[in-house]
């Protein structure tokens, strides 16, 4: 589209010269022979730049400039003076009026074109920067609003208090007259009820809170419409959906937004905001933020209802296992209930907890409980993939994108389309990779490495880390905006030492598993051995317990029960200092070799010591010794058979 240039000059020759050179330079030219005409003309056609003569009959150029700068439509329009007045004070006066330039007559057409192009470029760049700043401010406000909501609803587990705070935040963020939650949202019910509502002090209309109101056809129709979509529905005089007349009369509503919320337990809720004082146009950013509010409220609502149900119904505490989890402790029952609550939503889940607590098992359980259980489940351990290959691993690449890319390859995001992608050790991502991931989280679009073609993928994301990402973000090692995006719901897995009798359940499960695999005679624990298991700190959590039981089974002979001494031999060599495991005899030699010891005996001592050093982890020991773990298993079995 051509830029419009307005020329204001009372000399016909100047007008002709300027018009011709500007038209030749592909500008659309407007002309005015005096200041008054120019002021009238900009009301109908807004120019992108104005060339303004100084000496004109009636209103001179300086006064015309003053009045143009006072008009809303031209206050930011660049103005260039063109005048025969060459005195310095005239130029200074013109520039002091916020003109961007001053050209003296006679002028060269080439100079005029060059200066026009220069100031149009500056003006356009300034407008782009203003738009970007506005977008950035809106985005920051968006994130801050979600963070404010999250903080408010996480301060309590009481459903009523939580939802009341959620509505207060909604009222403040959207600057509306009323925010409310209707329950149950059942179009076929005989009545409906608003248990949670907050309003501004001046909000008009009747306040009917927490009482049954007879169902009417118009309200039933609204519920059906909202329940038929996952998007918010806008109601207003100029919208597809109109506010029912009885709602206008009872609640003085001019405009409203509605969204269905689906907790894991119970019937859906209806989330809405009203504008009563005037008819309101809800912009796209507001509707999007309202939807994200609804999603966050829905998840927290489900969690709170789950906790309440957990305390009300003791049968929920009786689950001994949940998918691949084993445990009856209260911390694990809460984890099971949390997974029940969040699995059905598409919200991002952040799984936190110490190493060995079962973060991958938690992700798999969420996937299996979700509506995507029949779709792909893909896993990416961000710590084990080279940083320069991780983007290709996730998003794929095209042939020739880098050395070794001999053909197009789909990434895990494409492979998981329609399903779930689990990103383990998310805290290990580089900042550049975090940016790429944030872009995908925000837009659900990505481009393969070596390609600029955008692709879409419908993927539910689950993350895990043993780091505190909030601290990492404060130190500049993790993007704060990504942290708030992925931390819609956080599930923190408990350490093993806080799970009580789960330790014995897990030990017996691992014993049965490894006895069957290794054909051992062991089939139980002495009471003192169980006490020893319960007294240990288990810094390595479930993984450490599993490795120790496996090690005992591999090195057992004809024993039928595991003794406390067997446990102690593999745990007492570690002491805890400031949450770090340190071997007690660090300064002693790893292996003590007799003077005439055979090579086989040396080998046995080295392997045994290395396995002990690795806390019974055969695979880790094999990596240290640079042999296959199958080799170590075979040697341990041979030594066991010879005893």
Residue with structure tokens 């001179």? 60
Asked if 344 contacts 371 with a C-beta cutoff of 8 angstroms, the reply is yes
Specify the pTM.
Answer: 0.47
The predicted pLDDT at position 408 comes to 87
For tokens 């010891």, name the residue: 597
- d(C-alpha 293, C-alpha 400), whole Å: 43
Using omega within 30 degrees of 0 as the cis cutoff, is the peptide bond preceding 205 cis?
A: no
- The token pair at 353 is 């907890």
Alpha-carbon span 248 to 253, nearest angstrom: 5
> Which tokens in the block code for residue 423?
């990103």
Closest listed residue to residue 348, CA positions, set 272, 404, 296:
296
pLDDT at 304: 64
- Bond into 315 cis (ω within 30): no
3-state secondary structure at position 241? strand
pLDDT given for residue 636 in this prediction: 77
- 603 closest CA partner among 640, 639, 558: 639
344-494 — its CATH code? 3.40.50.300
- In the chain, where does the domain assigned CATH 1.10.8.60 lie? 497-642
Residue 537 phi/psi, 5-degree rounding, is: -75, -25
**Cβ-contact 155, 165 below 8 angstroms:** yes
In the chain, CATH 3.40.50.2300 sits at 4-126
pLDDT in the model for residue 47:
94
What pLDDT, on a 0 to 100 scale, did the predictor assign at position 579? Answer: 40
Let me know: does 479 contact 433? Beta carbons within 8 Å: no
- pLDDT of 486: 83
Which pLDDT score, from 0 to 100, does residue 313 have?
54
- How confident is the model at residue 207, as a pLDDT? 62
Beta bridge partners of 198: 179
Give 3-state DSSP helix, strand, coil % of the chain, rounded to 5. 50, 15, 35
Question: What pLDDT is recorded for position 129?
Answer: 81
- Residue 557's pLDDT is 80
Tokens of 98: 């916020």
Is the torsion defined by CA of 565, 568, 569, 572 positive or negative?
negative
C-alpha–C-alpha distance, residues 372 and 460, integer Å: 9
Torsion of CA 207, 211, 214, 218, to 10 degrees: 50
385-398 confidence digits (pLDDT tens): 888 888 889 999 88
State the span(s) of the chain assigned CATH 3.40.50.300: 344-494
| Fold classified for 497-642 | Helicase, Ruva Protein; domain 3 (1.10.8)
- Which has the closest alpha carbon to 464: 503, 488, 490, 438? 490
Strand ranges inside 160-264, DSSP E: 178-182, 191-192, 196-199, 213-214, 233-235, 255-261
Q: What secondary structure letter does DSSP report for 317?
A: G
Query: What is the rounded distance in angstroms from the CA atom of residue 472 to the CA atom of residue 492?
Result: 17
Beta bridge partners of 184: none
The phi and psi torsions of 124 (rounded to 5 degrees) equal: -65, -40
DSSP 278-305: S--PPPHHHHHHHHHHHHHHHHHHHHHH
Tokens of 301: 């609502």
Cα 614 from Cα 618, distance rounded (Å): 8
- The pLDDT of residue 265: 65
Interatomic CA distance for residues 319 and 305, integer angstroms: 19
Ranges of residues in the chain with a pLDDT under 70 are 134-136, 138-141, 143, 157, 204-210, 264-266, 302-318, 572-599, 615, 629, 640-643
Domain at 159-310: CATH code: 3.30.450.40
Give CA angle at 326 (323, 330), nearest 5°: 110
H helices of 444-479, in order, are 469-474
* Alpha carbons within 13 A on the beta-carbon side of 451: 19
How far, CA to CA in Å, does 235 sit from each of 257, 258, 573?
A: 6, 8, 69
CATH 3.40.50.2300 fits 4-126, yes or no: yes
Distance, CA of 9 to CA of 13 (rounded, Å)? 9
* pLDDT tens, position by position, 514-566: 988 888 888 899 999 999 999 999 988 999 999 999 989 888 887 889 999 99
Q: Where in the chain is the domain with CATH 3.30.450.40?
A: 159-310
Query: Residue 247, preceding bond cis, omega within 30 degrees?
Result: no
Q: How many Cβ atoms sit within 10 Å of the Cβ of residue 99?
A: 22
Exposure on the CB side of residue 142, measured as CA atoms within 13 A: 18
Q: Is 522 exposed, middle or buried (0-12, 13-18, 19+ CB in 10 A)?
A: buried
Q: Report the candidate in 583, 508, 591 with the shortest Cα–Cα distance to residue 553.
A: 508
Instruction: Give 191's strand partners.
Output: 214
* H and E: helices and strands count for the chain: 23, 23
């Amino acid at each position: 589209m051509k830029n419009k240039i307005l020329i204001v000059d009372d000399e016909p020759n100047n007008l002709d010269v300027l018009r011709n050179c500007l038209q030749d330079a592909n500008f659309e030219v407007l002309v005015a022979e005096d200041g008054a005409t120019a002021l009238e003309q900009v009301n109908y056609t807004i120019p992108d730049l104005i060339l303004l003569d100084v000496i004109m009959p009636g209103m001179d150029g300086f006064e015309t400039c003053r009045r143009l700068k006072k008009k809303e439509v031209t206050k930011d329009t660049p103005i260039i003076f063109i005048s025969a007045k060459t005195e310095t004070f005239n130029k200074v006066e013109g520039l002091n009026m916020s003109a961007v330039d001053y050209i003296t007559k006679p002028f060269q057409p080439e100079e005029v074109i060059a200066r026009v192009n220069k100031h149009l470029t500056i003006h356009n760049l300034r407008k782009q920067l203003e738009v970007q700043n506005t977008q950035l401010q809106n985005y920051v406000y968006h994130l801050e609003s979600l963070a404010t909501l999250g903080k408010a609803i996480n301060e309590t587990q009481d459903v009523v208090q939580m939802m009341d705070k959620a509505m207060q935040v909604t009222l403040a963020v959207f600057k509306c007259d009323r925010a409310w939650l209707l329950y149950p949202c059942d179009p076929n019910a005989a009545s409906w009820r608003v248990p949670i509502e907050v309003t501004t002090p001046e909000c008009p209309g009747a306040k009917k809170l927490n009482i049954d109101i007879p169902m009417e056809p118009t309200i039933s129709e609204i519920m059906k419409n909202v329940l038929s979509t996952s998007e918010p529905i806008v109601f207003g005089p100029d919208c597809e959906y109109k506010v029912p007349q009885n709602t206008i009369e009872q609640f003085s509503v001019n405009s409203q937004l509605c969204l269905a919320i689906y907790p894991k337990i119970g019937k859906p809720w209806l989330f809405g905001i009203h504008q009563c004082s005037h008819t309101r146009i809800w912009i796209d950013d507001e509707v999007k933020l309202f939807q994200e509010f609804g999603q966050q409220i829905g998840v927290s609502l489900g969690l709170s209802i789950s906790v309440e149900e957990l305390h009300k119904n003791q049968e929920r505490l009786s689950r001994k296992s949940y998918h691949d989890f084993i445990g009856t402790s209260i911390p694990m029952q809460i984890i099971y209930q949390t997974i029940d609550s969040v699995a059905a939503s598409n919200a991002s889940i952040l799984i936190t907890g110490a190493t060995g607590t079962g973060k991958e098992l938690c992700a798999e359980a969420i996937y299996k409980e979700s509506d995507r259980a029949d779709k792909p489940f893909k896993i990416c351990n961000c710590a084990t993939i080279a940083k320069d290959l991780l983007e290709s691993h996730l998003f794929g690449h095209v042939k020739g994108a880098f050395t070794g890319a001999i053909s197009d390859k789909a990434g895990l995001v494409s492979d998981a389309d329609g399903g779930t992608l689990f990103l383990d050790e998310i805290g290990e991502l580089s900042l550049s990779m975090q940016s790429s991931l944030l872009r995908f989280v925000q837009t659900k679009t990505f481009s393969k490495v070596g390609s600029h073609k955008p692709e879409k993928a419908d993927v539910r994301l689950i993350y895990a880390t043993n780091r505190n990402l909030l601290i990492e973000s404060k130190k500049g090692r993790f993007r704060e905006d990504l942290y708030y995006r992925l931390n819609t719901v956080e599930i923190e897995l408990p350490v093993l030492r806080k799970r009580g009798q789960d330790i014995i359940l897990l030990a017996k499960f691992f014993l049965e598993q490894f006895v069957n695999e290794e054909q051992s005679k062991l089939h139980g624990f002495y009471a003192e051995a169980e006490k020893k298991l319960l007294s240990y700190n288990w810094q390595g959590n479930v993984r450490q317990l599993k490795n120790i039981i496996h090690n005992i089974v591999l090195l057992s002979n004809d024993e039928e029960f595991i003794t406390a001494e067997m446990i102690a031999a593999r745990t007492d060599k570690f002491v805890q200092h400031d949450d770090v495991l340190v071997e007690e005899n660090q300064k002693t030699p790893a292996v003590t070799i007799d003077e005439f010891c055979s090579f086989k005996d040396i080998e046995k001592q080295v392997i045994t010591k290395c396995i002990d050093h690795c806390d019974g982890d055969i695979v880790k020991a094999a990596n240290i010794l640079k042999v296959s773990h199958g080799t170590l298993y075979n040697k341990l079995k041979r030594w066991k058979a010879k005893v």
